[in-house]
Structure 1
């Protein structure tokens, strides 16, 4: 045997052993990390598809929209441009109940941000209805009569002036009322639960009732290949994904590549 080959074989063996043991450590550690079920406020035992609060991103579904934060005991999630308080997580029905954080103290927040769920993992499940809020509206023309549906004014006060706004249920675009509302400086679409919309209709058509309905929140459904991950969890594993590829992965306490306890599912 050529003695000059011994050092290279020795280093090759060391590198191979390092890769084997470090890989087993990484995947075993992933199981421990993903086993962690944090809590925030009244929301307990938070797991897949969500991450954050000490759960690594690889322990959630491969979409940044599932990241959670705990802010002074309030569980929060950011969907597109708006931040929501999480009121309930129902994993069995895959429903997230949320309310707008910025509308928790009134209906005149700054800045004004629309609720939108386009190209996000969360969608309306048909249990909410959009409410249009118009801000800083001009004086109503004398030749225009507002219908009862648009006769719900509210005041927003700033350091230098007070402005008038309106909240309406329905889209008045293409009508004289819609033309008038289009002259308002800003508008926001705010989803509310259908069951709570009645709070500010009928007996209580006032801004305080609208604020109460906004605090009670509305439901969103999510889609995160939960069926496959439920199978992983039922087998004692922890579901997550490979960072960079998005492949779903099932870990258990002895997971390592090449064993039956470690398996992937490609995420389209």
Structure 2
């Protein structure tokens, strides 16, 4: 026999094996309901919404009848019994909605106001929801004292009456009579702020409160684990249905091995037949090929290549299976060619690749980031996809999908019309201070959500102007989760090797554990540096002359002596107070000891609160002229390390 036949036969064998292993598990058509319900949808400004919700372009059978959404406005609306709520955000991990009553949105009076009732079979108030009683049409007896909780509100009562509130269910003032009272809900922080008289009633109502939902969640989890997607039948009871790739099922897809007539599915027989026949051919070819060593080496090489490819694919498949129906959509590279018009419109280039403008089939604009770094088995890439897919918040960028094909990897984000914040800071900044302040508040809310709003805490590790994207209304969105780490909410210290982040924004403890453990407080430090840069203090405060004196030294000099910083865009007393507030918050956030930095929830409160309530924070020990005495026996060594941290900080914040 010709020996050259064996390598050829082996090549045929390898191709045959690859074909056999790619025989699909079902030769029939994919069930239409399974296809429609497998994809998450967007409703108004919230993305990645799945079961039990439906509405807009998503059919009712993909959700539960009691969870229909109105998607026509700027925020989704849901009606529970007789009350309509505006949804600000939703957390699928904890099954929690942050909502406010629609009739009281940006108003404290409505002719339709009533005591709300919950569908307790499917909804319950979250732990932070607090009751506040509003009293309308109240009368004060002549000579009565000042009603501290009275507030201005348009009602249909006469000028002789007023409205008031109580943070308990009973009126807190004697000799006051009111025509009607209504019980409303706010979050715990807003209720406390009302008690402290630091916010008004409308602000308290607009801050929302938590609602937790329940809708056949146990059955849905079983369905997703079996490879199906969740939905319901068309009856008013909304009986649960598990949609599988070939047909619906009552609970899971494991029961779909048998047809409704009781016999084995003909399509399954075909698959078994092809597999058995292919297996026989494979055994014959293995016997022939293994008689010759050249063929064996070719076979081993082919199988090794296939094994490496399968490791990558298994990482992706494991991630998609873990996410179930909540997984982001996966695109092929040819899909990216179509939606970007062959990568025609390039938006920019970042440290990890090029970004192109694209358009989905429904006309939705997206930004497609083609990653240039393709080393490793894809764990970092899947980490970024997993981090963003767990989020749903107005101040966190929405992931529309991803592409993973061998060494080709891409992320598809919601398109941000104004680009990133850095182009407004490093070029000629034409943003008003009020806009910068709102960007700072929005970014803080986004970080608070990542640290506390998710069931799994997400630490970003790369907060900087380039990673704050702005939509057409300058609403900030935190982006680029390539360095993020996921940890349990109760986990305070993060174990990791090496520093991560961008020079100028990295917390000291990320460089050296001598400054403390790495935690979500490392993000707080980066945020503080970001806010200080946003205020424009670098245009007023000169660069330090020695490496031991940090830029904050000169800021403290201005603040402690009450000097006018005369920052850009500051033309009034109100703007001066806003700038000082941002600077004070920034200084609190960059404290050397992580425990001295406020959590992001407190940062939001400080930004939205009164300037008079903010104290000047202590000077970070790194930057104090007394550093040598404070650092103890190893002062020179610690000070040297401190100076290295300062040099890294100055790398981005030049002239501060």
Q: What TM-score do you get using the length of structure 2 for normalisation?
A: 0.32
Identify the residue that residue 41 of structure 1 maps to in structure 2: 44
Whether contact under 8 Å (1:49, 1:59) holds in the other structure is yes
Q: How many residues align?
A: 226
1:139 is displaced (CA, Å) by 2.7
Identify the residue that residue 77 of structure 1 maps to in structure 2: 78
CA 1:68–1:92: 2 relative to 1, 3 Å: same
Identify the residue that residue 89 of structure 1 maps to in structure 2: 90
Taking the aligned partners of 2:238 and 2:109, their CA distance within structure 1 comes to 40
Identify the residue that residue 186 of structure 1 maps to in structure 2: 180
CA 1:228–1:136: 2 relative to 1, 3 Å: same
Identify the residue that residue 222 of structure 1 maps to in structure 2: 213
The question of 1:209 aligning with 2:200 is answered yes
Q: 1:172 aligns with which of 170, 174, 187?
A: 170
CA 1:260–1:246: 2 relative to 1, 3 Å: farther
Taking the aligned partners of 2:163 and 2:220, their CA distance within structure 1 comes to 47
Which one has more relative contact order, counting CA pairs under 8 Å at least 6 apart? 1
Q: Secondary structure at 1:227's aligned position in 2?
A: helix
Taking the aligned partners of 1:237 and 1:55, their CA distance within structure 2 comes to 17
Taking the aligned partners of 1:248 and 1:228, their CA distance within structure 2 comes to 8
CA 1:251–1:262: 2 relative to 1, 3 Å: farther
Which runs of no fewer than 5 residues in structure 1 stay unpaired?
1-23, 264-268
1:165 is displaced (CA, Å) by 0.7
Larger Rg: 2
1:228 is displaced (CA, Å) by 2.2
Taking the aligned partners of 1:241 and 1:33, their CA distance within structure 2 comes to 13
Whether contact under 8 Å (2:131, 2:167) holds in the other structure is yes
CA 1:108–1:45: 2 relative to 1, 3 Å: same
**As a proportion of its length, which structure holds more strand?**
1
Taking the aligned partners of 1:233 and 1:117, their CA distance within structure 2 comes to 28
Taking the aligned partners of 2:42 and 2:126, their CA distance within structure 1 comes to 26
Q: What TM-score do you get using the length of structure 1 for normalisation?
A: 0.72
Q: 1:247 aligns with which of 236, 239, 246?
A: 239
1:262 is displaced (CA, Å) by 9.4
Q: Secondary structure at 2:99's aligned position in 1?
A: strand
Bigger Cα displacement from structure 2, 192-201 vs 151-160:
151-160
Taking the aligned partners of 1:202 and 1:35, their CA distance within structure 2 comes to 47
Whether contact under 8 Å (1:192, 1:217) holds in the other structure is yes
Taking the aligned partners of 1:261 and 1:74, their CA distance within structure 2 comes to 44
Bigger Cα displacement from structure 2, 83-92 vs 132-141:
132-141
Taking the aligned partners of 1:90 and 1:119, their CA distance within structure 2 comes to 19
Which runs of no fewer than 5 residues in structure 2 stay unpaired?
1-27, 250-254, 261-656
